[in-house]
Structure 1
């Protein structure tokens, strides 16, 4: 064989190898990505040719179902009370893909999950119409609706957790949206809804504030500082700073208590009084004395800083920030500076205290159900770690009961002892001229907790600059607790 023919032969061999490599890459390595791509029309038609599985509440109430149609896409997704449950269910759209639980559990719902392989083979052999599996959530539908209604026209979030198991009982976020509009088979309806919902200058109703947004926690973070103080040997009767104002080291900046109030005798106060009256000076000094390493370690025991948290919805990472100098440690001790938590994370902190100091992994999925209604997977409570000694957790619970007694706002419940902490979080470029976020975290009944809640109302709600956690967030939290305890 002469040289030119050898070169042609080698070139053809190289091209064949490249072709085989490309086919392998497309059909094996990237196959799943292409299959899940919302722009893949063939996959779309295939998915809508089968009955998508349901998303079901804890009591069996369908939250997301399907109805048969007469158009080319055989089924349309439907959502019961869509806006109330949208932060949980998400949406399923022919144009814009999926979000929320619809996205996290898409393989199961569309029937391609490996756990449904035997069912798919059986359907192929018997000629049955293929169906997707269903997801049963931990969400209590009545509590979810109560949380949504309690937020009303305010912008914020409510998260409720069962402390002993980590089950998420409610996860409301407002403003919300109607996923039925995105599920429509009318492209014009979808496009109009999407444009309104994703307007960057609008209220961002598709933002799930419970898990996707991080906020300065304000004085609710004092629970973490108090937990570390107790771990270091302090008791609720230990003396702490009671001054009405302190100067941050190396600066001329004053850090005052709320309304320049004093704690105790104006020089010292007990740890319990400092928490009940939310004394900034006490917790700023405590944070500085324990140092950033201990503070960060205690926060991590509560789950703060976990970058891999999923429920299975992905959760934004909460953080304490760098705490690079003494002034920032002082400010971090009162939940300001660079400290940022999701409402879910703040609910986990509260639930951990309620559960005698043991942190349970929060989860939203209760059961995975096959098309024949058999249970193929079930979430078991996952004990992550002991964040606090049980005796210290009991002491902090008692301190939170005193805090609730000292907290104003409406909706107080008779016959129920609540353990709580409020927060009024400054934010923005000019914090003193910016409406603060209002927080309330609580659990009840304090002596035998059944529910832990975290509430945030952005930008002072309808109170504005005068907003506090007690005025704005506490009535919402109490209403949610009351709705849960009253439904037993």
Structure 2
């Protein structure tokens, strides 16, 4: 009898071991598979069981959380949603996240290991700390000035601090309210479909993700390349450029929008935006020199993150001389984001050094204790200090005596460059109006801000002067807001 009891005990022990092995298999080896199974609602329930951390501007939250009392409990809310949508993006229980909501999701959702001194404890207890906060570099008054200036017109504004790379304003218009995408159900689905079907593309972040022909604003890059390469040693010397200018190797004549560009100096060409002179100078610099100069300013960099990814701005590396001439005045295949053109202005303002732009100053725990602080990085020198000084002088003349007078600010030194970018089949599309600029208080203080503005549906004026009419006043409002904070 004892023997049968012993065998029964062995069998029960074997069953217990098999049970433990199976539990280990499910909880260790197959846990990831079960966790990723679409039928498993636990990760989603846990994700929205607690309020999400906030994104802040000037120390004040522009996001929040609302208790929906549903299975996915906390929904995202937004303050001034359309104003800050290009910064925050959306956090949707149905459609995921975008922009800062995505880039800083581990901190905001409470899953970042840096949120706790004992992250292993949360692993063992299957809990998590409260969501942390992400403090942006955005200035509320500058953001509002840019948004108000665009007034619903299609376009974008990017403003950066030249000495640090901080993004001070980031506006895309028309915009949308991310709150309409926060929850679940038919209303959210309807809002998503409506936004994606809108021909104005309100969910497109034009400041970071759209690339435009930069038009004559790119002449700043060409002029800097010419000075650095020694192609131009005297900015006031005549360039012996005919008007119109025959594109090399072709019978096509490149005209100017205005008069007085025949044999103009490079200084006059920047001041009055002469296509002929700058196209010829670009050809003289050569493909290699122009390609390298564009790269130093940030073109052709597909890895730029702020921390959301930024579309690659393009300057072709394989072109014929006539194509190079057009590319040197911001046409042909040359494309740039508004942030990229703000970086061009910032490099000039910062003595030639280009700082990496960034949007998040620091992340913190829910009680305010620091998690990470942004590191300021240099992307290298876009031009020599001497060239930067000369370019500053040329850009100031554009505002004081040239095509950018609408950007002038009493009591401040302002440098700028207008641009009108042709596009469409046969250049039939309404030109894009551009203005890039920088500003500093009088008295030798460092530049406070560099700005780029593009307006897609500006008045269809064929000439760089339209950048002065449509885009320069917006840039001036943003620069005034930056200077008022100093």
With the length of structure 2 as denominator, give the TM-score of the two structures.
0.88
Q: Which secondary structure state, in structure 2, belongs to the residue aligned with residue 258 of structure 1?
A: coil
Task: Give the deviation of 1:312 after TM superposition.
Answer: 0.6
* 2:422 equivalent in structure 1: 426
* Separation in structure 1 between the aligned mates of residue 383 and residue 321 of structure 2, nearest angstrom: 26
Matching of residues 19-418 of structure 1 within 5 Å? 27=31, 34=36, 41-57=41-57, 59-118=58-117, 120-121=119-120, 130-183=129-182, 185-199=183-197, 202-233=199-230, 234-259=233-258, 261-263=259-261, 266=262, 268-405=263-400, 406-408=402-404, 410=406, 412-418=408-414
Asked if residue 464 in structure 1 is aligned to residue 467 in structure 2, the reply is no
Structure 2 distance, partners of 1:232, 1:173, is 36
Q: Residues 433-448 of structure 1 correspond to what in structure 2 (within 5 A)?
A: 433-445=428-440, 447=444, 448=446
1:284-340: per-residue Cα shift (whole Å, max 9, x none)?
111111111110101111111111100011011111124421110110111100001
Structure 1 position 384, deviation (Å): 2.0
State the Cα distance separating 1:238 from its structure 2 match.
Answer: 3.4
Offset at residue 206 of structure 1 (A): 0.4
1:142-192 Cα offsets, whole Å, 9 max, x none, are 211111111112100000000000000010000100011111x35122112
Using the alignment, how far apart are the partners of 1:255 and 1:360 within structure 2?
35
The DSSP-based 3-state class of the residue aligned with 1:160 is strand
Q: Distance in 1 between matches of 2:185 and 2:330?
A: 46
Matched-pair contact (CA < 8 Å) for 1:162–1:168: yes
Seen in structure 2, the aligned counterparts of structure 1 residues 407 and 177 have a Cα distance that, compared at 3 Å, is: same
Q: Following the alignment from structure 2 to structure 1, what is the Cα–Cα distance between the partners of residues 27 and 48?
A: 27
Does the CA contact (< 8 Å) of 1:323 and 1:332 recur in 2? no
CA RMSD, aligned part only? Answer: 2.6
Deviation at 1:68, TM superposition (A): 2.9
Helix, strand or coil for the counterpart of 2:227?
Answer: helix
Matched position secondary structure for 1:414: coil
User: 3-state SS of the aligned residue for 1:108?
Assistant: helix
The 1:250–1:21 alpha-carbon spacing in structure 2 relative to 1, beyond 3 Å, is farther
SS at match of 1:172: strand
Confirm or deny: 8 A CA contact 1:242 1:274 kept in the other structure.
no
Relative distance call for 1:252 and 1:31 in structure 2 (3 A) is farther
Which residues of structure 1 form unaligned runs of 5+?
1-19
- Please give the alpha-carbon distance, in whole angstroms, between the structure 2 residues aligned to 1:249 and 1:56: 53
Partner of 1:67, secondary structure, is strand
Change (3 A) 1:269 1:166: same
Classify 1:454/1:40 alpha carbon distance in 2 versus 1 (closer, same or farther; 3 Å): farther
After the TM superposition, which of the residue ranges 385-394 and 308-317 deviates more from structure 2? 385-394
2-structure distance, mates of 1:258, 1:465 = 10
Hey, what's the Cα distance between the residues in 2 that align with 1:179 and 1:118?
A: 33
